[in-house]
Amino acid sequence: MSAVSAQAPPPALELREVTVRHEPEDPPAVATVSFAVAPGERVALVGLNGSGKTTLLAAAAGLVPHDGEIRVAGERLTRRSVAALRERIGFLFNVPEDQLLFPRVLDDVSFGLRRRGVPADEALRRAAETLEALGARHLADLPLHHLSHGQQQRVALAGALAIGPALLLLDEPSAGLDPPGRHALATLLRRLDAAMLVATHDLEFARNLCTRFLMLEQGRLVLDAADASDVQRRWEP
Amino acid sequence: MRAFLHDLWGCGRGPARRAAPPTRLVAGAAFFAACVVSPGATLAGSLCAAAAAVAWLRLCRPPARVVRAFLLLGLAVFLPYFLLLPLLPDAPHASLESWRRALVVPWTVLLRGLGGMLVAAGTVAALGAGDLREALVRLPVPGVVSAILLQIVHQTATLFYETRRIAAAMAVRGASSGGVAAWRVLCALPRVWLPRVVARAERVGAAMELRGYADVPPGPLRTVTAGRADFALLSAAAVVLAAAIALRALEAP
């Protein structure tokens, strides 16, 4: 084996001693958290309400200032590098309506592709394929305000997936989906090559999708386990 | 009525829909300008503004309920200016000429305001959900300006629904059951509504940043060629605007 092939690829996402405060005088929302997500690895980030899951995801996408070090595919997230690194990230907000920026579903889903220079026809075709994969092809021509919360969730996810990101940061992706929808989503996400950090309360969904479970409590990482039952034991003593 | 505000877009069924989106937007802007430029002090000017509004509504043909809603809103906004008339200096003994001169001001406000609102309603009805973006991208409008305009339109509607949800929550929780309760809730509105709006604006801003929305907006999706409908619509708009400008020029001392 040559020296080049023996070299392991850098983690898709790496956090070293990351602390986030909403205000300088506030207690940290995320406190000295360190972990890495390997390429292709699917990691669940679980925790109770207010435990810092959303803040941690926002920090990983460079949306909130942080102390410590965040690396995406080995490259440090800084003010200069953030725009380039975001090109590799697909993000799902926990309120999907917030990230839908166009009046028509297909325009919104294809936006990321067109921004990356994909020709319009090709972008629309790929956006339609992504919607199809999410079981939402029938929504393509609808105005966004006609969609239910669960449908908005799928459309927002389609927008994130359409660009083929190497790293997916998903905030409560199963929220608002019906049980078949949750199952189908987990199945779809399992098929992707992208690394994932999935913030969720839905332990069943996390168990279906992820192979590793991180648990946050009051902003601190208290568990890093390969088995969801460890999380369950902490929640249901 | 669940999505009244958004459903205004493209609800018109008039012949203006045959023209390309940029043509519809430019023609709408010209009719709007005609209403605003027309002099309210003369009969010809008043007729010109009214004719511009009516003609544009005929071309866009929005549903009657939309026209009615905008008409009532316009009257509610602009009619109260007439209440200022009794404040005219020595109003009870003022001459007929003084009354006429005083009347011209609220009349012009009503004419231009109502005409402008109806033309705006027609324009919105003539442009579909994606047409506004199409029109802005094709017109020589700076990319950032069109991006901001589009988000203003999109987010205004979203905030409208947010406000309706808050109002519904208030109604469900009994806020509308008594005058005092309603008043208390109304007073608390800045503390309830405003923080939600601000928080939402922050989240949308983050999403725009993350998705690269501020970058140059993507090009138009459809191929549009100018045809007879475009020519006819632009000609009509040009004639109306020219007439309004001419009347305004004639009125000038």
**Domains, chain A, ordered by start:** 3-88+166-235 (3.40.50.300), 102-164 (no CATH)
Average pLDDT over residues B90-101: 73
B1 touches chain A (CB under 8 A): no
B154 touches chain A (CB under 8 A): yes
- Give residue B138's pLDDT band: very low, low, confident or very high (50, 70, 90): confident
A124 touches chain B (CB under 8 A): yes
B204 touches chain A (CB under 8 A): yes
How many interface pairs between A and B have CB atoms less than 8 angstroms apart?
72
Closest CA to B17 of B60, B52, B58, B57: B60
| A155 burial via Cβ count (<10 Å: 0-12, 13-18, 19+) | buried
For the ranges A34-38, A140-144, B121-125, the lowest mean pLDDT is seen at A140-144
Kindly tell me if the per-residue pLDDT of B144 is higher than 60. Answer: yes
B9 touches chain A (CB under 8 A): yes
- Give residue A22's pLDDT band: very low, low, confident or very high (50, 70, 90): confident
Reported as a single tens digit per residue, the pLDDT across B153-205 is 877 777 777 777 777 666 666 655 556 666 766 676 777 777 877 888 888 88
Mark yes or no for CB contact A101/B203 under 8 Å. Answer: no
| Rounded-to-integer distance, Cα B48 and Cα A209, Å | 66
| Rounded-to-integer distance, Cα A214 and Cα A44, Å | 6
B219 touches chain A (CB under 8 A): yes
- Give residue A214's pLDDT band: very low, low, confident or very high (50, 70, 90): very high
Q: Please, which residues have CB within 8 angstroms of residue B202's CB and are 6 or more apart in sequence?
A: none
Task: With a threshold of 0.90, tell me whether the complex ipTM lies above it.
Answer: no
Kindly tell me if the per-residue pLDDT of A237 is higher than 80. Answer: no
| Rounded-to-integer distance, Cα A231 and Cα B21, Å | 55
Could you give the strand order of the β-sheet that contains A13-20, starting from the edge strand earlier in sequence?
A30-37, A13-20, A67-72, A75-76
Instruction: Give the model's pLDDT for residue A160.
Output: 92
Ranges of H-type helices in chain A: 3-6, 53-60, 82-86, 105-115, 120-133, 149-162, 179-191, 203-209, 228-235
Reported as a single tens digit per residue, the pLDDT across A80-128 is 998 889 889 999 998 888 888 887 889 889 988 888 888 888 999 999 9
Kindly tell me if the per-residue pLDDT of B223 is higher than 60. Answer: no
B151 touches chain A (CB under 8 A): yes
| Rounded-to-integer distance, Cα B104 and Cα B237, Å | 26
Reported as a single tens digit per residue, the pLDDT across A47-64 is 988 899 999 999 999 989
Reported as a single tens digit per residue, the pLDDT across A91-102 is 999 888 888 888
- Give residue B2's pLDDT band: very low, low, confident or very high (50, 70, 90): very low
Angle at B195 between CA B181 and CA B173, to 5 degrees: 30
| Rounded-to-integer distance, Cα B125 and Cα A50, Å | 44
Residues 169-228 of A with CB under 8 A from B: none
| Rounded-to-integer distance, Cα A115 and Cα A159, Å | 12
Positive or negative: CA dihedral B156, B158, B162, B165: positive
A218-222: Cβ within 8 A, 24+ apart: A218/A31, A218/A51, A218/A52, A219/A20, A219/A27, A219/A28, A219/A29, A219/A30, A219/A31, A219/A33, A219/A51, A219/A52, A219/A55, A220/A31, A220/A32, A220/A33, A221/A33, A221/A34, A221/A35
Half-sphere exposure at residue B253, Cβ-oriented, CA atoms within 13 angstroms: 0
| Coarse DSSP helix, strand, coil percentages of chain B, rounded to the nearest 5 percent | 75, 0, 25
Instruction: Give the model's pLDDT for residue A147.
Output: 85
Instruction: Give the model's pLDDT for residue A128.
Output: 94
Q: What's the gap in Å between the CA of B253 and the closest CA on chain A?
A: 48
Instruction: Give the model's pLDDT for residue A1.
Output: 44
Q: SS3 of A47, please?
A: strand
The better pLDDT of the pair A200, B176 is held by A200
Q: Please, which residues have CB within 8 angstroms of residue A205's CB and are 6 or more apart in sequence?
A: A173, A174, A182, A185, A186
Residues of chain B in contact with residue A97, where contact means CB-CB under 8 angstroms, are 158
Cβ atoms A108, A98 nearer than 8 A:
no
Kindly tell me if the per-residue pLDDT of B242 is higher than 70. Answer: yes
Side chain identity at residue B225, one-letter code: T
Instruction: Give the model's pLDDT for residue A54.
Output: 93
Nearest-CB residue to A101 (from B154, B200, B219): B154
Instruction: Give the model's pLDDT for residue B193.
Output: 75
| Rounded-to-integer distance, Cα A150 and Cα A177, Å | 5
For the ranges A215-219, B153-157, B231-235, B245-249, the lowest mean pLDDT is seen at B153-157
- Give residue A74's pLDDT band: very low, low, confident or very high (50, 70, 90): very high
Instruction: Give the model's pLDDT for residue B219.
Output: 52
Closest CA to B29 of B130, B134, B139: B139
Instruction: Give the model's pLDDT for residue B190.
Output: 75
Q: What's the gap in Å between the CA of B85 and the closest CA on chain A?
A: 44
B200 touches chain A (CB under 8 A): yes
Closest CA to B116 of B78, B80, B83, B152: B78
Reported as a single tens digit per residue, the pLDDT across B45-84 is 999 999 999 999 999 999 999 999 999 999 999 999 888 7
Interface test with A, best of B203, B216, B223 (most A CBs within 10 A): B203
Kindly tell me if the per-residue pLDDT of A5 is higher than 60. Answer: no
Reported as a single tens digit per residue, the pLDDT across A165-175 is 999 999 999 98
Cβ atoms B61, B12 nearer than 8 A:
yes
Instruction: Give the model's pLDDT for residue A2.
Output: 47
The better pLDDT of the pair B25, A149 is held by B25
